[in-house]
Amino acid sequence: MSRSFAVAHRGALTFALSLVVGAALAQPASAPTSKPAAPTAAASAVARPLAASAARAAGSAPVRAPAAARTSTPAAWPAKPLKIVVGFPGGSTPDVAARILADGLSKNLNQNVIVENRPGASGNIAADQVAKATDDHTLGLVINGNLSSAKLLNPKLPFDPTRDFSLLSLVANAPLVLVTQPDKPSGEEFFLAARNAGEKWNYGSVGIGSAGHLGIELLKSRAGNFGAVHVPYQGNPQVITALLANDVQMALIPPGLALPQIRAGKLKAVGLTTGRSALAPDVAPLSEAGVRGFDMDVFVALVGPASLSPAAQARVADEASAIARSPELRQRFFNAGWTPMGGSPEALRTRVRNETNLLGGIIMIRGIKAE
């Protein structure tokens, strides 16, 4: 269409519209129930060919919805029950933390939250399930090793912690308690006995690459290179059963599980892996048993698959931190042997990076590999 034709076309349209409007204004006001007055013959004669031309143009061009209709509104999240996958059995400390978290999320999100236990492979089976989830409603509660040491120990792991997860929030942390049988010596004498026993002593953990595993390996280098042999179990309840049966002679376990056994006289505390802690006020640090340069805790963190929607990531991260500030839920975490933490995704990323450097050094120095 030439420029002159376009100008003439617009001029004709303007003139036609003015005739129509003028004719309408010239009509007397009608009662609400009467039919609208028809336009004048002159206005109709001009308007009809222009309307036909507009109709032909409309048929060859896409019809665009109003801007408000074109803008999609994100669906409310969550749209269905959430699932938190835990890589350890019911009754384990990660399981207890997950259930406290699930209660808080369910209340804050006004949606059911289900905890699903998928124990095995130090929590890596569950972590892999979370990494591959695509429903935008699956989360995972993982431990240190799933995010830091798992890939270092096993390069063939089916997931990559640095690529396949959205890190949401640190949930809670705790020191570990080195425990043994009541008939074993205490303090520095315990480590002397461990060195003399060589490989006749065993130690238990919740699996290869866990804090209980790598923590003892680090402890070996800080306490005279005793030779206790590693025996992995599915969870800390099984580790405690092995301790009570004297199948293993030591283990690093969280206070929430260690203290009831210690208070009942069934196990003995050798020391804490950190400084003094309100979670275990009567247990002295391992530094008081002659161990130098040793500091380690265990944490649980909330993650989702990398594909988790940004809206879901932001909402869950905010709610997890709110739960850590709730007086009622803080007390429940504390009673279960955890210190609630909360925090931003960025803070969790920093924690994982530092943990990877620490545990990576232990793995390299001790020559540890996935079996």
Residue 166's pLDDT is what? Answer: 98
Distance CA 250, CA 306 (A): 38
124 confidence band (pLDDT: 50, 70, 90):
very high
Decide which of 59 and 243 is more confident: 243
SS3 state at 1: coil
Distance CA 236, CA 232 (A): 10
Segment among 9-23, 156-170, 227-241, 355-369 with least mean pLDDT: 9-23
Q: Among candidates 352, 354, 326, 353, which has minimal Cα distance to 340?
A: 326
Percent of the chain with pLDDT over 90: 69
Residue 369's pLDDT is what? Answer: 82
Residues of the chain with CATH 3.40.190.10: 177-296
Is the domain spanning 82-173+298-366 CATH 3.30.300.30? The answer is no
Chain length of the chain: 371
CA distances from 186 to 178, 268, 279 (A): 11, 8, 21
Mean pLDDT (the chain) is: 84
Residue 43's pLDDT is what? Answer: 42
Percent of the chain with pLDDT over 70: 80
Residue 75's pLDDT is what? Answer: 63
Residues of the chain with CATH 3.40.190.150: 82-173+298-366
Decide which of 215 and 59 is more confident: 215
Q: How many helices (H) and strands (E) does the chain have?
A: 14, 11
Residue 209's pLDDT is what? Answer: 83
Q: pLDDT tens digits, residue range 329-353?
A: 999 999 999 999 999 999 999 999 9
Q: In what order do the strands lie in the sheet with 268-272?
A: 229-232, 202-205, 250-253, 177-180, 268-272
Residue 228's pLDDT is what? Answer: 97
Distance CA 145, CA 274 (A): 18
Here the tokens at position 4 are 């002159």
- By DSSP bridging, strand 250-253 and strand 202-205 are parallel
Look at residue 149 and tell me whether its pLDDT is greater than 60.
yes
Distance CA 57, CA 10 (A): 14
SS3 state at 250: strand
Q: pLDDT tens digits, residue range 228-241?
A: 999 999 888 999 99
Residue 366's pLDDT is what? Answer: 86
Q: pLDDT tens digits, residue range 274-332?
A: 999 999 999 999 999 999 989 999 999 999 999 999 999 999 999 999 999 999 999 99
122 confidence band (pLDDT: 50, 70, 90):
confident
Residue 371's pLDDT is what? Answer: 65
Cβ atoms of 348 and 166 within 8 Å: the answer is no
Q: Cα 64 vs. chain centroid, distance in angstroms?
A: 41
Superfamily of the domain at 177-296: Periplasmic binding protein-like II (3.40.190.10)
Residue 65's pLDDT is what? Answer: 41
Cβ neighbours for 363, distance < 8 A, ≥ 6 positions apart: 149, 152, 153, 214
Residue 7's pLDDT is what? Answer: 40
**Geometric angle at alpha carbon 195, from 192 and 201, rounded to 5°:** 115
Residue 193's pLDDT is what? Answer: 97
Q: pLDDT tens digits, residue range 59-105?
A: 444 444 444 433 343 568 999 999 999 999 998 889 999 999 999 99
